[in-house]
Chains A and B, each alone.
Chain A
Amino acid sequence: MKQIVIIGNGISGVTAARHIRKNSTHRITIISAETKHFFSRTALMYVYMGHMNYEHIKPYADDFWVKNNIELLFDYVNHIDSDQKKLVLQSSESLHYDQLIIACGSKPNKFGWKGQDLKGVQGLYSWQDLEQMEENTKGIQSAVIVGGGLIGVEMAEMLLSRGIKVIFLVREKRFWGSVLPKEEGELISRHISSHGVDLRFETELESIEADVSGKVNHILTKNGEKIDCQFVGLTVGVSPNIEFLKNSPIQTDRGVMVNEYLQTNVEDVYAIGDCAQFNRHPTGRKNIEQVWYTGKMMGETVAQSICHQPTPYTPGVWFNSAKFFDIEYQTYGWVWAEKKENEESLYWEDSNGKKCIKLIYDKSTFDFLGVNVFGIRFNHRILDEWIKQEKDIHDVVRNLHQANFDPEFFQNNFKVIQKFLDSQLEEKKTAYVSN
């Protein structure tokens, strides 16, 4: 029986713990300085909006941990002594480990703006951030959000639910421009604006200015514009939260460096989730993956390595999802903001401008490569299968209705959608041949 210690009780660390428990009788200890119990980070917004309380966003009941013999430690790791195989904790106790999993997550990015540490300026990642946001937004009238990504739009929705005016600064020409192609980005931008968010594209933050009490008073943009606000949300991405590793022999770059087995350079020390950085990603994706689903998969993988044979991290077809105000988004396979050389796309948008489907395929082989879908639910298993087998795009269009996962009685007229996409496909083929 080994002592397994996991730093971090987010989805990655907890998934690892659950699977180690399933596969072994090892002693498992999870350390977190954030909350005593695991909560769903993706649900923080709903607590602020009054949809749920803290109790509701815990994926497991409190007695789950006792029942499964997983020890929870509410403490902070100051230092890792990898020679002695022990952790020095803030409570000044130390803890021995046989194998260590670092799953300490991220922290919001700050890019050295003037005033970024003022009262009323913050990101949104942790439970403490949420408590701070509750404090910072009490009784205020207007807020500025910097950074057009997923957390930014969540923050906008949160603030609007409290009747706070939102000015949203986005560096690109459209919302989430680094990820979404033009049509989808514009569709979502329109939807965000329609909720009363003041979206300002191609606008960047210059500095944040305070009033006499040291609280945010207004911001200045790079164009020299002054915007009054009592709150600034910095949502320009997150980066691994690894300060505490600085004086340890564990190799870090932006994150904790790992190989495909999620092993660090130090024996018996693994890193998973947001904080892990692959020296070379096993499937050629970005070396840091900060997504709920990949964190979960890394947790499952590292548990196999610890309990059975070393298992490489091998995620299958990429998928992700989000919700922008009222519009749900799912993506499967690869849909890039800018099409690659070999790619062609098909695009259908509903007349109300709130639903769309984008299909990506290889223009010479007609292999299906990926899909973005907004306002319609698709079936993960079916799309995973189609992408894996590189199904012919003609067949994909013809069978698209089979991939629908909308509730019963939803009136998405797939016959019309399929007919539309099919004629678009024929048009593109003709255009391609005549070129």
Chain B
Amino acid sequence: MSQIDYDISLTGGPPSAQNLAQKAGTFIGILGLFILLLAGFNLDFPNKGVWLTISLSSIATGIILYSKGLYGNKQAGIKNDSLWFNSISSRGALGWMAGIFLTSFYVVLYFFPQFLGLNAEGENGGLISLFDPLSKVLSGNPASQWFVYGTLYTVAILFFGIKFIWKYRHNSYQRIRTISVMFFQTAFAFLIPEFMARLNENDGFNLPYYDLKSIWPLNYYVFDQWSVDGLISSGNLGLGMLVFGILSIFVITPVLTYKYGKRWYCSWVCGCGGLAETAGDSFRQLSDKSVFAWKVERWVIHSVLVFSVVMTTALISTYLGYDPSKYWLTKDVFLLLVGVLLSAVFLLIVIFKRAEMKKDAIVGASAYMIVILSLFGIHFFAGKQLFFFDANDLRSTYGFLIGSVFSGVIGTGFYPIFGNRVWCRFGCPMAAILGLQQRFFSRFRITTNGGQCISCGNCSTYCEMGIDVKYYAQKGQNIVRSSCVGCGICSAVCPRGVLKLENGSDHGATRYTENPITFGNDGIKLNV
């Protein structure tokens, strides 16, 4: 197929020709971005509120117009035509350009916010000052780089969400799921924290920025001293939020994951997932499906999990006291509780799921050992040390490596190169916990429909998590993989109705028994 001409212009001939609406949409959208870029280069706009409105509504209009051009004149159904011919969605020149642009944006955002115009001392300038009017309306405070980011993030999820719904309008699961991520982003990640900042104008309120749906360990700063102090010092509301945060980890998450799999969070609620599913949808086919990538995934994501557990434990223990008469939760009680909890999880898996673990058991046990040894370390090393590391250094290293570089620069900046779920697949410690549970203690699985699979490869190609879905489907085996976020696209793109996301009642190995002989071949009976 070397004859296909890869087309890098936005306005080429078939098969990637764009119609008028798409061209107009691209133009208007880029115009909106251009205003932001001008502000970024310190062009001082007079009526900032007006220009911000013009910019954001241009971006929104651009995306909607583009979607209308792309899907509006077509019947409901799967819309993946020319995806691998288009430069942007097939790692062509446009894809690389977009990747470099996004990556640079993240580098500036995380490490050089002054270039965006951040000024903690006095008036903001540049891009950030353009967002001041909106920030003042919502929280009463001037904007920060995080407000700029949050606003653009929410705009992206909302309007690329509309594009996504348009694309999959024949599929109720996709429609409802997308409305859900749009809602959680707008309400929980964007508006509620801003209104919480309003509350801080009152006496007795000292609430930190807190996105209630962002659960530890994805939200690695929720147990930072400033965050916990802020919550505790903000009356019953603050305390309630802290309790909710802890309940989310120990009650809400396990219950929902048991019933529905990790999808309830990763592809219905989470903001990272929300962006991946909407703005990142055009890149889902770029995920690496090789066995090697799967191996790397398991090592990296679980290492991040261990890192985050140790880091958080060390960090919390630094601000807990030693004297039980002052407060029952002392450093030693806390370490003991963590140790008991981890031992319980470890024993539960070893006792009940030993047969399914195989080689992974050794790796899992080693990780467990590292964490337990670290607990001893925290106990014996006085003060803020964990062995030879300062707990706060550990925390800032984690924040830099995992929170900024991994989840932002690589995770989102590289959408057009590595696909839209790099962070969720390789890095997110929350996904690691949910995945562990989904694999061992959940009713969720993707079932396959008898012998109907034709091994066409659509499911694997469009799996954003890099799962080789057809590997299972073609032998009539259910898909039970810890990384599956339950987005449901494999089921949507299947041309033969083979895949179905289900919350079944069966447990253990029957969830994924192999069927080596094609269902419908009655001539061969195997004792398997």
- Which residues of chain A have a CB within 8 Å of any CB of chain B? 11, 19, 22, 40, 42-43, 46-47, 49-54, 56-59, 61, 130-131, 134-135, 138, 161-163, 194-195, 292-293, 296-297, 300-301, 304, 311-317, 319, 321-323, 325-326, 328, 330, 377-381, 384, 405-411
Contacts and interface: CB of A to CB of B under 8 A. Distances in A.
In the A-B complex, the 7 residue pairs with the closest CB atoms: A380-B450, A326-B77, A314-B523, A377-B497, A316-B522, A43-B456, A409-B172
A308 to B, nearest CB: 10
Contacts of A40: 454-457
Contacts of A47: 1
B14 interface: yes
Q: Which of B14, B460, B488 has the most CB of A within 10 A?
A: B14
A315 B456 contact: no
B458 interface: yes
Given A40-B457, A194-B75, A323-B496, A407 B491 contact: yes
B520 interface: yes
Given A319-B450, A326-B75, A328-B495, A51 B461 contact: yes
16 contacts: A43-B457, A50-B85, A50-B86, A51-B458, A56-B460, A61-B290, A131-B3, A162-B15, A297-B521, A323-B495, A326-B75, A326-B77, A380-B452, A407-B500, A409-B172, A410-B171
A61 B461 CA distance: 13
Contacts of A379: 449-450
A138 B80 CA distance: 20
Contacts of A54: 1
B454 A43 contact: yes
Contacts of B451: 293, 296, 319, 380
Contact of B75 (A195, A384, A406): A195
Nearest to A60: B471
B287 to A, nearest CB: 12
B292 to A, nearest CB: 10
A59 B456 CA distance: 7
A312 B84 contact: no
For chain B, the bracket of interface size reads 35 or more
B449 A380 contact: yes
Contacts, number: 179
Nearest to A404: B500
B255 interface: no
B4 interface: yes
B496 A297 contact: no
B492 A407 contact: yes
Contacts of A53: 1, 84
Given A300-B524, A377-B449, 9 more contacts: A40-B454, A50-B16, A50-B81, A131-B3, A134-B3, A135-B3, A161-B81, A380-B451, A407-B491
A186 B45 CA distance: 61
B515 to A, nearest CB: 10
A70 B501 CA distance: 34
Contacts of A58: 457
B76 A326 contact: yes
Nearest to A320: B452
Contacts of B460: 56
Contacts of A312: 523
B146 interface: no
Contact of B450 (A59, A297, A384, A406): A384
A319 B520 contact: yes
B457 A49 contact: no
Contacts of B457: 40, 43, 46, 52, 56-59
Given A161-B15, A293-B518, A407-B173, A56 B492 contact: no
Nearest to A194: B75
Contacts of A317: 520
Given A61-B291, A297-B521, A409 B1 contact: no
A409 B177 CA distance: 10
B33 interface: no
A321 B452 contact: yes
B170 interface: yes
Contact of B452 (A51, A59, A330): A330
B519 interface: yes
Q: Which of A19, A51, A381 has the most CB of B within 10 A?
A: A51
A28 to B, nearest CB: 17
Contacts of A59: 455, 457, 470, 474
A48 B205 CA distance: 61
B82 interface: yes
Nearest to B523: A314
Contacts of B75: 194-195, 325-326
Q: Which of B15, B86, B502 has the most CB of A within 10 A?
A: B15
Nearest to A308: B524
A316 B517 CA distance: 12
Nearest to A303: B524
Contact of A163 (B14, B77, B170, B449): B14
A195 to B, nearest CB: 7
Contacts of B17: 163
A312 B521 CA distance: 11
B458 A52 contact: yes
B497 A330 contact: yes
Contacts of B348: none
A18 to B, nearest CB: 9
A42 B502 CA distance: 27
Given A314-B523, A384-B450, A410 B172 contact: yes
Contacts of A408: 172-173, 488, 501-502
A297 B84 contact: no
A119 to B, nearest CB: 15
A14 to B, nearest CB: 10
B324 interface: no
B170 A328 contact: no
Given A131-B1, A138-B3, A49 B82 contact: yes
B15 A11 contact: no
Nearest to B449: A380
